[in-house]
Structure 1
Amino acid sequence: MSRLILHFPEQQFYFTTQLTVRITDINAGKHLANDSMISMISEARARFLYQFGIEEVGENEVGIIVTDLATTYRTAAFARDTLIFEVGLMDLNKYGGDIIFRITKARNGELVALAKSGFVFYHFAASKVMPMPEDFRMRFPGVNCLPDYA
């Protein structure tokens, strides 16, 4: 049983995409490997940002960096399983927030994993964290904010 408990409000999901588990994603236990799941989560994040017109690094050298990742696994996925990645946002603060993921099997809706990835806005040329751009926040009016968001 997982020591970490992740719970996401239903209304915080904004995007869905599908990815298929490749044979190269399988580990010695004959199921989806942890490192491959992380790669799939990264791909789902990139598709989510692209869908909303958000560049991971913009022309002004400000972009998004991942600060942490937490994942809980519920069941195994196997080669050729099509997985549905529901992606959303929650707990926004002055500098970033969490991108959340619910991963299920397309064939039966079985929950494979839940994950959340912390992010901040970062100015790459200046090498420092930056406040969240207002146009980012405005794209997601229903996202909950932490109490200290200002």
Structure 2
Amino acid sequence: MDQRDIIKQFWKALDKSPFVMIGIPAQNAHSEPMTAQFDDDIPNALFFYARRDNRLATGMASHPQAMVQFTGKGHDFFACISGMLSVSDDPRLIDKFWSNAIEAWFDGGKDDPNLTLLRFDMKNAEMWEADLSAGNKLKMLFGGDIDYGDPNEKHIETTM
């Protein structure tokens, strides 16, 4: 399996279950569950709706480096991704990812003054797969830096 296949496997797994744990290591606080929003138009980036007073939103100004952990719906694919967290309050993006499920968290809807959209730009990742035929052993599929060479394609290039 080559890198592109592994990355396609990651995006497919994330599409089936977009729930991740995200935290800022420098905060020395626990990661928290968030729902990842993503789109092929913005490669290698995840977006999260949050409240402006959320510890991620308040902590990233002084510590923008964040870590995302992902477990696939079938517990057969895992990823740990480091990157940079920033605010992306572009109204077009807020509208693009908006849904009834998100609206339930914000009393004022898209105009809620406490609403913010966080952007996580992926820098480095490790990805594993559970090999069920080998007694549930995990095998690393990939470890390396993100390559932003082609803005129209999501992919990661290994440095191993």
Q: TM-score, normalised on structure 2?
A: 0.29
Q: TM-score, normalised on structure 1?
A: 0.30
